[in-house]
Chains A and B, each alone.
With several copies, the nearest count.
Chain A
């Protein structure tokens, strides 16, 4: 399973691609539909991760999320999945942002800025924003733990 995940960064869209597509679409509904497409392409995670331990609270839908560091230098690998494709799209976006980054880099990343850049913030309901914040927080905590 981990093996398949290692290949993800290549098969998944890069942050640049996502930003380009968002700019091209320039309509919030079409952008969210694109998120759904990204979500649909997200590979499934191992069933063993679908436990309370990995559940992110504050989400309207279920999201299970784990963060690993692989290789040397240790690079971040986000493994996450939701039962909602819109949320999986957000997961794909977070993967594009964080996967392949070092813990030092991950801690520095300003996710809010990227979301502002995408114009996504305005179009997420408060609940969905909560869920998103929950995910980002998990990732940041993992990065900080890796540093200590």
Chain B
């Protein structure tokens, strides 16, 4: 899969048109909000344009040439997702609007299918709201209870505590593969095995992790997996839900509409087979098709290279930031986390800091990052987050550090 010669970050950056020009204030853009969404390489942009200008039609409906081409392209994209996550067949790949939609689908459809009063759903303390709120809604409806796996004192997923919480009432274990705040990861195979040992299904929220540690669902025993196109250099508006064939067969549909039915009668309907059963209505056609070049782009660069490159940035950022007086980083040691640094700076409100960093072109995010229960235990209501992508450079890390120094001066902290 890997290209023969190793890529350079310069050659990668060239492929992102948005990185080729300063912002409207003439500043070089240092985009460090990759955890929220990533920029798009030319090949992804081109693919959406190709669809719209060469053979656009609705999907799975027309026998005419454009319709057939769209169907073929969608199936190729499904296949590239299958390959990315190591699923058995492309019929296990469902296109959705995003991770949030995928997780809601699971909560509503699988949740109502299996949960009874007193049953338990296990999440962790570091989940994104997308992997909390849908479960709360379904727990309220079904009488199930949510239990949270704590973090240890180094902000790591506490595997021992997890195994103690697991019990025969556990029906669902749904965990993030990587915290979008801490960068902390989980031991996927072990967690899956433990979940299965009590008869629970294991759901992986791979929104942050799929790009860094591509899952291997069959080997790792992942039952369901969700991720978003826009976080892996793909288009906005499309996401993926993977489900094991036999589970997809058991799971009732969630959204009703065109394409997901077999027959519609006055008072009830019968369902098509997966993936159609879970793809009600018109798909995000151009977006689902343009997910493939994003996946191919990443594979071409090679996951090892990405991992090494991002780790280098993470280490440099961590070393520099730790030197700044009053700056506190939240998360495990760099050796045990993804390329995310969340921090607070004493005397500086995260909102002010994020604004002031942007005065130097540095784009970082501030707030609770859709992880309020985590911030509850961090003991702060908001943090500033720098998250790195494959196009970020060592110089950009230095600019982040320099911008923080400048902000401290501005805020009269230095």
Residues on B with C-beta less than 8 A from A84 are 349, 351-352
What's the Cα separation between A95 and B28 when bound, in Å?
37
- Kindly specify which of A29-37, A97-105, A112-120 makes contact with the partner chain: A29-37
Q: Quick check: B352 and A126 within 8 Å, CB to CB? A: no
Counting CB contacts under 8 A, is A123 at the interface? Answer: yes
A84–B349 CA distance with the chains assembled, in angstroms: 5
CB pair B65–A85 under 8 Å, yes or no, is no
A: contact size bracket: 10 to 19
Q: Are B71 and A125 in contact (CB under 8 A)?
A: yes
Q: Which residue of B lies closest to A36 (CB)?
A: B352
B63 at the binding interface (Cβ < 8 Å): yes
B66 to chain A, nearest CB (A): 12
- For residue B37, give the distance in angstroms from its CB to the closest CB of chain A: 17
A83 contacts partner chain B, Cβ-Cβ < 8 Å? yes
Q: Which residues of A contact B412 (CB under 8 A)?
A: 40
- Which residues of A from 15 to 62 have beta carbons under 8 Å from B? 27-29, 32-33, 36, 40, 60-61
Specify which of A36, A82, A83, A122 is in contact with B355 (CB 8 Å cutoff): A36
Are A32 and B351 within 8 A (Cβ)? no
In angstroms, how far is the closest chain A Cβ from the Cβ of B152? 29
Return the CB mask of A53-84 against B: 1 if under 8 Å, else 0. 00000001100000000000000000000111
- Does B268 belong to the interface (CB within 8 Å)? no
CB distance from A38 to the nearest CB of B (A): 13
Q: Is the interface of B mostly helix, strand, loop or mixed?
A: helix
The interface centre, meaning the residue of A61, A87, A123 with most chain B CB atoms within 10 A of its CB, is: A61
**CB of A123, distance to nearest CB on chain B (Å):** 7
Beta-carbon nearest neighbor of B64 in chain A: A29
Question: How long is the Cα–Cα vector from A125 to B259 in the complex, in angstroms?
Answer: 13
Supposing A36-B410, A126-B60 touch, asked if A29 and B352 sit within 8 A by C-beta, the answer is no
Task: Determine the chain A residues whose CB is within 8 A of the CB of B367 once the complex forms.
Answer: 60
| A86 pairs with B355, CB closer than 8 A | yes
B411: which of A27, A29, A85 is its contact (CB, 8 Å)?
A85
* B141 adjacent to chain A (CB < 8 Å): no
Q: Assuming A36-B410, A61-B349, is B25 touching A29 (CB within 8 A)?
A: yes
Q: Chain B nearest CB: distance from A106 CB in Å?
A: 27
A56 to chain B, nearest CB (A): 15
Report B-chain residues with C-beta under 8 Å of the C-beta of A85.
349, 352, 411
Q: Which residues in B have their C-beta under 8 angstroms from that of A33?
A: 355-356, 359
Is B68 positioned at the interface, with any CB of A under 8 Å from its CB? yes
Closest to B67 in A: A125
Across the two chains, which residue of chain A brings its CB closest to B367?
Answer: A60
* Cβ-defined contact, A83 with B349, below 8 A: yes
Given A61-B349, A84-B351, are A125 and B410 neighbors across the interface (CB < 8 Å)? no
Within the complex, the shortest CB–CB distance from B354 to chain A, in Å, comes to 10
Contact A86 B68 (CB under 8 A): no
B273 CB to closest chain A CB (Å) equals 8
Given A33-B359, A36-B352; A123-B411 close (CB under 8 Å)? no
Residue of B nearest to A32 (CB): B355
Q: Nearest residue in A to B352 (C-beta to C-beta)?
A: A85
Q: Which residue of A lies closest to B347 (CB)?
A: A83
Does A86 contact B351, Cβ atoms closer than 8 Å?
A: yes
CB-defined interface of B37-73 with A at 8 Å, one 1/0 digit per residue? 0000000000000000000000010010100100110
**Chain B hits for A29, CB < 8 A:** 25, 65, 358-359
Which residues from B are CB-within-8-Å of A123? 68
Interface pair B356/A36, CB less than 8 Å apart: yes
B345-365 residues with Cβ-Cβ distance < 8 A to A are: 349, 351-352, 355-356, 358-359
Q: Which B residue's beta carbon lies closest to that of A28?
A: B68
The 0/1 profile, CB within 8 Å of A marked 1, for residues 270-292 of chain B is: 00000010000000000000000
Pick from B352, B410, B411 the residue with the most CB of A within 10 Å: B352
Which residues of B approach A to under 8 Å, CB–CB?
25, 60, 63, 65, 68, 71-72, 276, 349, 351-352, 355-356, 358-359, 367, 382, 410-412
Binding site for B on A (CB under 8 A): 27-29, 32-33, 36, 40, 60-61, 82-87, 122-123, 125-126
In the complex, given contacts A84-B352, A86-B351, A123-B68, what are 11 additional A-B residue pairs having Cβ atoms less than 8 angstroms apart? A29-B359, A33-B355, A33-B356, A36-B356, A61-B349, A61-B382, A85-B349, A85-B411, A86-B349, A87-B351, A125-B71
Q: List 17 A-B contacts (CB under 8 A).
A: A28-B68, A29-B65, A36-B352, A36-B355, A36-B410, A36-B411, A40-B412, A60-B367, A61-B349, A61-B382, A82-B349, A84-B349, A84-B352, A85-B349, A86-B352, A86-B355, A122-B72
